[in-house]
Amino acid sequence: MVRQDAWKQYDDTELAEVMKFAEGYSAFLSACKTERECVVFGVSEARRKGFADLADIVREGRTLRAGDRVYYNWMGKDLMAFVIGEKPLSEGMNILGAHIDSPRVDVKQNPLYEDEGIAYFDTHYYGGIKKYQWVAIPLALHGVIVRKDGTRETVAIGEKEEDPVFCFSDLLIHLAQDQMSKKASEAVEGEALNLIVGGRPLKDAEKEAVKAQVLKLLKEQLGAEEEDLLSAELEIVPAGRARDLGFDRSMILGYGHDDRICAYPSLRAVTDCEGTPAYTVCAILTDKEEIGSVGATGMASNFFENTVAELISACEGGYSDLTLRRCLRNSRMLSSDVSAGFDPNFAGVFEKKNAAILGKGVCFNKFTGRGGKGGSNDANAEFMAEIRRIMDDAGVDFQTAELGKVDAGGGGTIAYMCAKYGMNVIDAGIAVLSMHAPYEIAAKCDLWEGYKCYRAFAREAKAF
């Protein structure tokens, strides 16, 4: 089957829309490098579009009706946005679900130490990374420090031009004979990712003077003692903003496309929803996907189910367990997650006929998983047919793909965790090159087709 080149479909007016939307996304990607920052952005965007806090609705005992717009912030790491539809919630929702965590390196709880005149933070990497890619590049420090009294300090160091940056050192090539002979997975070990954070000693300090200087600066600049690092969440991410890539500026190079390039248009598709939809539409931005969706803020927990229960309780007719079960069972969902873009430089791991090609539009993965579809949500043919109808009617350029050759590897998404309710779910996202690298690559036209896809699905998907 011939895939259309999305760029060739645009007239001058739509091309300007593609570029404008990409500008907004690039600004988001540059500013939101952690799940907490994504939620802060999302809450601000929702409020700007007239969404009310569901927690306030519940606390005040107000009743939601068709056309009402609400959001819910769970632990500062998950965000859900809803536009209440005309049909009862028992008939299901149209859901767009993406994750807002990305592979990175985390600071350990007892991190700060000094060795031969250099101060370091000890770290533990998060998600699937090639560790050798993270050395000898400028890095920034993002997160929060929470003191014992509950007050908190937001941290974002390394993004402004005047900020310092941080770095993991690498072994000089002149002494790297043994390192270069190792497998790539062993060339840089996890415990060798020690972040350089200082090198000037504090005057009059007798022991660990460089560490003492860093602690002095932490106190002056962040109001934090060393003990406060025990209750901190600090994430090490590539420093700097997302940039246009190529002479033609057709692509975006940046950190965190996986999966913020799906999260941003998913949220926009719901916050941009006009009028009252037939079915309630919902965007879920979730945490912890990169480590298996575990924990209280991962999709494997009950945070989404609990939030839908609160939503039903606030609507006319009130809550019943049967209404909740019917709502979840009858819902339809796009698991908005990136797909591995076909890379001609590494063509051997792809089966080209079933690979996602940059510039060919949004990508549907009927299944993910590993080997014999292990750990996969394998979407029904009937649902795929419905997806085709919606995309064709809306003029969305789309393609289908698998994650590499059958036995080359694989991966998973949040799709199977939502399918457990009985709802129809399929993965739908943007093709990305260099996935999980510090800087990933995506095409602006695919981002735009993704937004068109999510907007059409939210408006047009229905029970069948």
Q: Do domains 6-102+255-460 and 105-238 have the same CATH topology?
A: no
What gap in Å lies between CA 439 and CA 255, rounded to an integer? 5
pLDDT band with cut points at 50, 70 and 90 for residue 1: low
Give 368's pLDDT tier (boundaries 50, 70, 90). confident
Residue 245 banded pLDDT, cuts 50, 70, 90 = very high
Residue-wise pLDDT for 37-94, tens only, equals 999 999 999 999 999 999 999 999 999 999 999 999 999 999 999 999 999 999 999 9
Assign a CATH topology to domain 105-238.
Aminopeptidase i, Domain 2 (2.30.250)
Q: Looking at residue 213, what is its pLDDT?
A: 97
Each residue of 449-464: pLDDT tens digit?
Answer: 999 999 999 999 987 7
pLDDT value of position 402? 87
Residue 281: strand pairing partners? 83, 94
8 A C-beta contact, residue 411 and residue 364: no
CA dihedral over 223, 227, 233, 234, signed as positive or negative: positive
Binned at pLDDT 50, 70 and 90, residue 377 comes out as confident
Nearest to 24 by CA among 305, 267, 312: 267
Query: Which class would CATH give 6-102+255-460?
Result: alpha beta
Domain spans in the chain, listed from the N-terminal domain onward:
6-102+255-460, 105-238
Nearest CA among 76, 269, 112 for reference residue 196: 112
pLDDT of residue 244 exceeding 70, the answer is: yes
Q: What is the DSSP string of 198-251?
A: E--PPTT--SSHHHHHHHHHHHHHH---GGGGGGEEEEEEE-S--EEESTT--E
pLDDT band at 22 (very low <50, low <70, confident <90, very high): very high
Task: Quick: pLDDT tens for 253-295.
Answer: 999 999 999 999 999 999 999 999 999 999 999 999 999 999 9
Grade residue 28 by pLDDT with cuts at 50, 70 and 90: very high
Residues in the chain, overall count: 464
Residue 38 or 413, more confident? 38
pLDDT tens profile 106-164:
999 999 999 999 999 999 999 999 999 999 999 999 999 999 999 999 999 999 999 99
Q: Which two tokens stand for residue 319?
A: 């809550």
